[in-house]
Amino acid sequence: MPMEPLPDLATLSLADIARLAAEKRLPPVQKWNPDHCGDSEMRIARDGTWYHQGSPIGRETMVRLFSTILRREPDGNHVLVTPVEKLDIEVEDAPFVAVELKSEGEGRGRSLAFRLNSGDIVTAGPAHELTVRETPDGPHPYLHVRGGLEALVGRSVYYELMNLALEEEDERIGLWSAGAFFPLDGAA
């Protein structure tokens, strides 16, 4: 069964985005607790590229499928899980990358929707926090996706966010989305 093509984020309203997110049904990986079966021999690179046995997975539909059975364990490790098996997967930074941004409104009335490299669309808000962590190589912005899984906000998307924040001319450098304020200057 072929997967549907991804909708053009620029043409969607935030109401459309919310409807699409609500319609997406993910497997209940948090309810599955099979025995650990070993290593998947898979890796997700910092840039969001998925690898199997050292070679990139070229089929986007396979990556999208695998992303639906990805889970973060309480110890911070990542696994691919089905009802009958659990396999380790190496994640260099975050398992997803936010590659596109849609902003509607301004100030406290703004909403920010992100398309991930997996095709998922996530709206920043109380359940999907946007955070910035200082690292030795500069600030790294992340978006909470689900169940402890995060998306690294891609550089070009981060620049878009910063431009929007600077246009707001607020006391703090940051943005509102879905009723929550997210500082983008790395300060808590």
Give the model confidence (pLDDT) of 126-167 as tens digits.
999 999 998 888 889 999 999 999 999 999 999 999 999 999
> Taking the chain, what is the end-to-end CA distance rounded to the nearest angstrom?
45
pLDDT value at 6 more than 70: no
Angle among Cα 157, 61, 34 to the nearest 5 degrees reads 100
Q: How far apart are alpha carbons 154 and 78 in whole angstroms?
A: 21
Answer yes or no: pTM beyond 0.75.
yes
Q: Does 67 share its domain with 138?
A: no
pLDDT digits over 60-119, tens only? Answer: 888 988 998 999 999 999 999 988 999 999 999 999 999 999 999 999 999 999 999 998
Three-state secondary structure call for residue 63: helix
CATH number of the domain encompassing residue 133: 2.30.270.10
Three-state secondary structure call for residue 16: helix
Q: Does 57 share its domain with 127?
A: no
Domains of the chain: total: 2
Q: Which domain holds residue 66?
A: 27-91
Residue 13 lies in a domain: no
Boundary residue ending a domain (70, 91, 112): 91
Q: Does 119 share its domain with 171?
A: yes
